[in-house]
Structures are given as C-alpha cells and as structure tokens.
Amino acid sequence: MKKIVAFGASSSKNSINKELAKYAASRVPESTYVMIDLLDFEMPIYSEDRESEQGVPELAFKFKKLLKESDGIVISFAEHNGVYTAAFKNILDWISVIEKLVWCNKPMFLLATSNGARGAKTVLEIAHARISLENNNQIPIFSLPKYKENFDQERGITDRELMDKFESSLKIFIKNL
C-alpha cells in the first residue's frame, strides 16, 4: 500500500486547492493518503538571521518527516498575485535549509485551480519549473480552470475534456510511484 502526502498550498480554511489535492490523492489505487493543512505548520517568517539565532523550527522538521515517510506527494497550488502563497513559500524556505533535496526526490503530482479561466496556471508553471530542477521523476501537472463550474464535491471533475487531461497526468504519477 502506497502512502501519499497531499496538501493545498494555501492558508485558506476552505481552500479549493485543498479539495483538488484531496480528490487527486483519493484517485490513486492501492494507496492511503494523509492530508496536510498548512495552517498546522505556521512558523515565523524565514530569515537567515532567525535561523542562525533560533535554529530551524520543530514544525519544519515535522513537515519534512511527513514528506520523507511518503511514497509520493500531491500539491495543489493556490495563486496569490501570480505566485506561491506566503504560507507555502515560508514552509518551503524553512524545509529547504534542512537538506538539499527539498521534496526528497519523491514522485509528485502538481495541480492548481482557481475560479478564473486560467486555473492558476502561472503559479503551476513556476512550481513545476522549480521543483523539476531537483527531482529525477517526470512530474505531471494539471490545471483546473473555473473550479465552481468544473468541480463537484461528490462527482469530482465534471468536464469530460478536463477529466481526460487529469487522468492522463494522474497515470504518470501512479506509474512513478
């Protein structure tokens, strides 16, 4: 049984990206998944001075341990002004000082969604470009535009063409596990 760690890279309690990450993780056969809430990993804003004076927060080590103990990682990115949310970026900054391979070279599936027509594609492209630099796996991506129109809590992705794209990306992730 494979263990998947999934999260929405958002600090919103009602994040649509958390929902999309959960949906994607639930679609991996013969696996279990753990949903991470970034709100459970709030830490001081990263700075080199804070790191040298106070060390790395225990929450950063806890987050990193969850990644290491997984067989694969699913992240759905919320987009704030075209880039990562502050909550995600701060966690990324803290865990990146623990060891060089931030995502432990795990198979990953990167997603993004928004209620807009682009589906947070800008942040997804940024994330994919950055994460691909240090990961030997092919990292599939999927963007879901117009979340409210194309996603149902019970049925999942409702648009057939988008569902086909999602399934193609999901197959790559499953193959890499």
Q: What is the pLDDT along the chain (177 residues), one digit of tens a residue?
A: 999 999 999 999 999 999 999 999 999 999 999 999 999 999 999 999 999 999 999 999 999 999 999 999 999 999 999 999 999 999 999 999 999 899 999 999 999 999 999 999 999 999 999 999 999 999 999 999 999 999 999 999 999 999 999 999 999 999 999
- The edge-to-edge listing of strands for the beta sheet with 141-144 is 31-36, 2-9, 72-77, 108-113, 141-144
Of 100, 144, 89, 137, give the one whose Cα is nearest residue 118: 144
For domain 2-176, the CATH architecture is 3-Layer(aba) Sandwich (3.40)
- Give the dihedral sign, CA 177/27/166/39: negative
What pLDDT was estimated at residue 77? 98
Report how far residue 136's alpha carbon sits from residue 106's, in angstroms, rounded to the nearest whole number.
8
CA distance 152 to 158: 7
Please tell me the predicted confidence (pLDDT) of residue 127. Answer: 98
Q: What is the pTM of this model?
A: 0.97
Task: State the pLDDT at residue 119.
Answer: 97
What pLDDT, on the 0 to 100 scale, is given for residue 116? 97
Q: Which two tokens stand for residue 35?
A: 């949903």
Q: How many residues does the chain have?
A: 177
Helix (H, G, I), strand (E, B) or coil at 76: strand
| Of 7, 157, 170, 149, the residue nearest 77 (C-alpha) | 7
* Strand pairing report for 31-36 and 156-157: unpaired
What are the extents of the domains in the chain? 2-176
